[in-house]
Amino acid sequence: MQLVKRILPDGNGINKAELDELTEKLKSITPSPGAEGKPKKAKKSKLVLKNAKGTIDQGPAEMAVREELFDKIKAVFKTHGAETIDTPVFELTDILTNKYGEDSKLIYNVAKPEGSDESLSLRYDLTVPFARFVAQNKIQNIKRYHIAKVYRRDQPYMTKGRYREFYQCDFDIAGSNYAPMFPDAECVKIATEIIDSLDIGKYTIKLNDRRILDGIFAACGCPDELFRAACAEVDKLDKLPWTAPDNEVSVRCGMIKKGLTEECADKIGQFVQRSGGQDLVKELLADPVLGANKSATEGLKEMSVLLEYLEAWKIMDKVSFDLSLARGLDYYTGVIYEIVMTPSEEDIKTAEVGTTVGVGSVAAGGRYDGLVGSLVGGKGKSNVPCVGISFGVERLYTLLKRKKDASSIRTTATQVFVMSGQKNMLKERAAILNDLWEAGIPAETSYKPNPKLLNDLQSCESRNIPWGIVFGEREIEEGIVLLRSITSREEEKVARSDLVKILKEKLAV
């Protein structure tokens, strides 16, 4: 095995001068995707070829980034000892009823053919199917992740990544008599590990507790029946100001419209605009109004425990106990959290008025202790407390894709491309290919009977395939091939019988 400088000057082998010339040509050609993958114009179609509204195809480049994303997320889940499960894409409609509040109207139903006695709906999230799985199989403890598509007939906003079919990626811990806030803290920890591993920028984890919010509402004199409405208004604080002049839209204004008195709204406002850490917890526990409320005190004491874990795990710099966090879903009963990306300078420059700057929230979740119990319809023992976090795959994907240079994304694992400059070499190419396949070396050759060597070489360069095998009749006679480094454009002479061994060394497979 030696570096070939000028072998095979003529004859019917691969002519080195010719190869050099091709190499020169290659240098003068701007890299392009080559013939493969180049779209041609199609004739007019009778059928309308398009995706269902709000859905998209994922091409090879998108899938390559998406798989990297899923692999990194899964690696963290596995480090935490999680199992995975899968549930069907449709559920009996009854299972999904009364779980999503107003958003229930966004659920897709399956058409019920004549004679069928089942009403089916496409899953709206992975949490309710998970609770159904736990309840139905009478599971007492499980720590599982689930990455799968969910369906919402929402108004799509394709450029912002809001689709009708999209991936969710959930991690949940279910079980009774667990140490308070320990699983909850683990969910927050997992969020930091995942986002850090993706290296997509700075973020803040907002923490709050439904019990604290309820306590605030009660302590401020909000009637019980308006708790949920007040909560929904608080949830808007990431988009709207607390108060605004001249009757412009504001959260305070919204609360009053929902029926709260001005006095009550103002009291609530003094709380829900606060954020901090352990100091704020202590201050609120000592607050004469809030400190007397049982629900708030419970929530605050557990928040303090949660923060202790996060302090011990050294992630307090990423965390904010934020009383404005409310979260929309009905089923939360305790701690809630949301991970918000800090907008980049680019995000701030290009932000449109009235929309979130940057991608906003990339993960969120909380504790839902009553959901499994509500499904089995029982109390006490048949209930299974749960806490979990759901990652917004589409937004994480957007951030990960943005980091990448499009031309560097590899959509195949191909390490070797087999080529010949001569005609009628397909059977020889197929034979070499087979040796590589049998050895588990990802390899391809052109499907054309007589491909042009220049095209093949170009294709290797544009596709970032590291190695080429080049041969002609002469090489066959001599029992060798030329092994070409696509990057350096240098070839070396390799005995055909050593080829697999040498490639395995080079590729470390």
Supply the minimum distance, in Å, between the C-beta of residue 212 and a second copy: 23
Cα 93 to chain center, whole Å? 27
CB of 473 to a second copy, least distance (A): 18
What number of other Cβ atoms are within 10 A of residue 262's Cβ?
A: 10
Taking CA atoms, 59 is separated from 49, 129, 407, in Å, by 16, 29, 15
Please give the Cα distance from 272 to 215 (Å, whole number).
12
Give the whole-angstrom CA distance, residue 351 versus residue 307: 33
Say if CB 389 and CB 206 are below 8 A apart: no
- Please, which residue, 101 or 378, has the CB nearer to a second copy? 378
- Quick one: 69 or 323, whose CB is closer to a second copy? 69
Q: Please report how close the Cβ of residue 441 comes to a second copy at its closest, in angstroms.
A: 7
Let me know the angle formed at the C-alpha of 71 by 130 and 332, rounded to the nearest 5 degrees. 30
Q: Which backbone phi and psi does 365 adopt, to 5 degrees?
A: 175, -160
* CA geometry: angle 183, 189, 195, nearest 5 deg: 140
Nearer to a second copy, 27 or 46 (CB): 46
Question: In the complex with a second copy, which residue's Cβ is closer, 360 or 370?
Answer: 370
Q: How far is the CB of 507 from a second copy (least distance, A)?
A: 12
Between strands 83-84 and 142-151, the pairing is parallel
Report the alpha-carbon distance of residue 429 to residue 443 in Å, rounded. Answer: 11
Nearest approach in angstroms of CB 107 to a second copy is 10
**DSSP bridge pairs for 142:** 174
Rounded to the nearest whole angstrom, what is the least distance from the CB of residue 5 to a second copy in the complex? 31
Q: How far is the CB of 432 from a second copy (least distance, A)?
A: 11
Tokens read off for 281? 């917890």
Q: Which is nearer to a second copy, 23 or 414 (CB)?
A: 414
Nearer to a second copy, 161 or 241 (CB): 161
CB atoms within 10 A of CB 92: 12
CB nearer to a second copy: give 113 or 288. 113
